[in-house]
Structure 1
Amino acid sequence: MGWRRGEEREEGVMAADFFWSYTDEPHASRRRQILSQYPQIKELFGPDPWAFPKVTVVVLLQLYTATLLHDAGWLKILATAYFFGSFLNHNLFLAIHELSHNLAFSTPAYNRWLGILANLPVGVPMSVTFQKYHLEHHRFQGVDGIDMDIPSLTETRMVTNVVAKSIWVIFQLLFYAFRPVFLKPKPPGYWEFINFSIQIALDITIVYFWGWKSFAYLILSTFVGGGMHPMAGHFISEHYVFNPDQETYSYYGPLNFLTWHVGYHNEHHDFPRIPGNKLHKVREVAPEYYQGLASYKSWSQNFGFVLPFVL
């Protein structure tokens, strides 16, 4: 289950689907408190100068790997996708998350272009659309009908046992992608047309010169990396409630170095203008605001522990 915000409901109505709250989300108030006590944190605001080279290296490495697998057997392709390519594509997905907050360049358009570059090995155009919905997740965390990062009421009613939840976890990236399409569709804009055109052109180029297996490797890397995969544990750990008094959870483990430090999720929601590589400094400067919060030390362990309870 996750937190939801909405209008007051009759007593007992919808009490078992989410933790319903009618108060403001906690991050804005905590941000004000921290900044009033530690104004030097504002010095951490601003872009990460290493974002562009980091994205470029991962994109080139993943595309090169795809070309090497053009004649490989399907078992080798699947194994490489799960144990190698999934880490790269998930890294790029979280780079896109970072870029949605304009944390690579001061000029928003440059961040969009880099997001389109980071999108290429993912195989499906999504970087521009992701920004539209993700910024709403920050502004309206948990607000019913607006925040598309939280599972829908239909999902909570359909996914009610271990088997269904296992299937949901395996396909959670698809639920994440299609939930806003069905529940809160937005008309595409100019930047989405650019994102779509460049992505499809790259996909066609890969198929034409290296064949379907190279393209399949990229798609599999995206799919398996978003399912029952160690890095995909962050989807569950970030906002699924296991402590009724807490909405957002951080993870302080080594996978942060592969995921743009998205594990520092309380810190990120408190200060979305601070790039991931500096979020640990927030906790160092203002430790008293975070040490008392529940957190995770493992994402992969999440699946074994939370699967019977998630949703």
Structure 2
Amino acid sequence: MAEEFFWSESDEPHALRRRQMLAAYPEIKELFGPDPSGFFKISGVVLLQICAAALVRDLGWPFIVLLAYFFGAFLNHNLFLAIHELSHNLVFATPLLNKILGIFANLPVGIPMSITFQKYHLDHHNYQGIQGLDVDIPSYSEGRIVRNTASKIVWVFFQLFFYALRPLFVNPKPPGLWEALNLSAQLLFDAALVYFAGYKPLAFLILSTFLGGGLHPMAGHFISEHYVFQKGQETYSYYGPLNLLTWNVGYHNEHHDFPRIPGSKLYKLKQIAPEFYEGLASHSSWIEVIYRYITDPTIGPFCRTIRRPENNMLCRRLNEMGIKKSS
């Protein structure tokens, strides 16, 4: 198993590929901009999950757990990736409306995360591979502890906790007004749900979030997106059926190349410029990704590509302006 991250002396690959693709296919710009149909998709899933939660109030706990894993987890993970879409302002034209819809999409998740996610996720795009700024990268502590199959099973099962808590330790950011609004809306919703339907519906929602972020097919994208499965490549796309439930987040090279294209149109990007993606390794099964991550002794948390700030174009520009951005 790797004892250290894979160091790159070059900038992340997406900025260069973006320039090359736009030079060859300027019509790609026609794909830019929000997709308002996302509002109806999000509203439908939120209402469906709330109805499902209300219906479990009289079920036994074994049935609630099974329903959370085989049904609720798919819906809550869909909402998590809807929040990802909203973090890029890809449903409405104005950031304000995207933030509000993100707080609404957050309600069935049970735990406030929409606003905080946006803060850190945009850093992931701007500073890909820079430790301390790109908090998607596992910490050195995770790499040193997760060393065998047993520890990787535990890590994958609880990876949503690592994903959510890592930023607070690696790059803490002070909360603001929007975080307070996100928290207030979530607490009011959770309290109302418990008051009118009891604790089981809320437990169902939180279980759906937790189980859907661990040993679950939907959670395979956490590993498939940037863990190095082929040396020299740091971002991977997934071309499989679960894209239908995940806002096409599997088109991950495409997404990083053009974050301004909504998930509903990413497949068109690949159709317009297929030669830019044909030579890249990709995944066809998120279940296989999880299985391989757990069982392959050469793959672990250190299988990520990292770079120094001076090898990031945005960091260089900020430094030229006298704004130091370091990991």
Whole-Å Cα distance in 1 between the matches of residues 271 and 201 of structure 2? Answer: 44
Whole-Å Cα distance in 1 between the matches of residues 62 and 46 of structure 2? Answer: 23
Whole-Å Cα distance in 2 between the matches of residues 235 and 310 of structure 1? Answer: 13
Whole-Å Cα distance in 2 between the matches of residues 277 and 237 of structure 1? Answer: 20
Give 1:197's match in structure 2, choosing from 184, 191, 213.
184
Would the aligned equivalents of 2:112 and 2:186 in 1 still touch at CA under 8 Å?
A: yes
Give 1:274's match in structure 2, choosing from 251, 254, 261.
261
Give the equivalent residue in structure 2 for 1:11.
Answer: none
Among all aligned residue pairs of Structure 1 and Structure 2, give the percentage whose two residues are the same amino acid. 65
CA offsets per residue over residues 59-96 of structure 1, 9 Å max, x none?
00001110111121000100000000000000000000
Q: Which runs of structure 2 are paired with 1:287-302 in the superposition (5 Å)?
A: 287-302=274-289
Give the equivalent residue in structure 1 for 2:110.
Answer: 123
Whole-Å Cα distance in 2 between the matches of residues 170 and 184 of structure 1? Answer: 24
Whole-Å Cα distance in 1 between the matches of residues 280 and 157 of structure 2? Answer: 29
Counterpart of 1:151, as a letter, is P
Would the aligned equivalents of 2:33 and 2:90 in 1 still touch at CA under 8 Å?
A: yes
Whole-Å Cα distance in 1 between the matches of residues 293 and 205 of structure 2? Answer: 29
- Gaps of at least 5 residues in structure 2 are 302-327
CA offsets per residue over residues 234-258 of structure 1, 9 Å max, x none?
0000000011110000000000000
Give 1:262's match in structure 2, choosing from 246, 249, 263.
249
Q: Which runs of structure 2 are paired with 1:123-202 in the superposition (5 Å)?
A: 123-202=110-189
CA displacement at 1:153 relative to structure 2: 1.0
1:56 and 2:43 correspond? yes
CA displacement at 1:28 relative to structure 2: 0.4
Helix, strand or coil: the match of 2:261?
A: coil
CA displacement at 1:22 relative to structure 2: 2.2
Provide the TM-score with structure 1 as the length reference: 0.94
CA displacement at 1:306 relative to structure 2: 2.1
Provide the TM-score with structure 2 as the length reference: 0.90
Counterpart of 2:232, as a letter, is D
Whole-Å Cα distance in 1 between the matches of residues 103 and 285 of structure 2? Answer: 30
CA displacement at 1:144 relative to structure 2: 1.5
Would the aligned equivalents of 2:143 and 2:300 in 1 still touch at CA under 8 Å?
A: no
CA offsets per residue over residues 34-67 of structure 1, 9 Å max, x none?
0011000000000012100000000000011101
CA displacement at 1:310 relative to structure 2: 2.9
Give the equivalent residue in structure 2 for 1:240.
Answer: 227
Helix, strand or coil: the match of 1:148?
A: coil
Counterpart of 1:21, as a letter, is S
Helix, strand or coil: the match of 1:228?
A: coil
Whole-Å Cα distance in 2 between the matches of residues 141 and 77 of structure 1? Answer: 39
1:41 and 2:28 correspond? yes
Counterpart of 1:218, as a letter, is L
Counterpart of 2:284, as a letter, is K
Helix, strand or coil: the match of 2:225?
A: helix
1:18 and 2:8 correspond? no
CA displacement at 1:16 relative to structure 2: 2.6
Helix, strand or coil: the match of 2:133?
A: coil
1:209 and 2:199 correspond? no
Helix, strand or coil: the match of 1:260?
A: coil
Helix, strand or coil: the match of 2:162?
A: helix
Whole-Å Cα distance in 2 between the matches of residues 268 and 249 of structure 1? Answer: 10
CA displacement at 1:180 relative to structure 2: 0.3
Give the equivalent residue in structure 1 for 2:76.
Answer: 89
Q: Pick 1 or 2: higher relative contact order, CA cutoff 8 A, min separation 6.
A: 2
Whole-Å Cα distance in 1 between the matches of residues 167 and 110 of structure 2? Answer: 19
Give the equivalent residue in structure 1 for 2:101.
Answer: 114
Counterpart of 2:5, as a letter, is F
1:99 and 2:89 correspond? no
- Gaps of at least 5 residues in structure 1 are 2-14
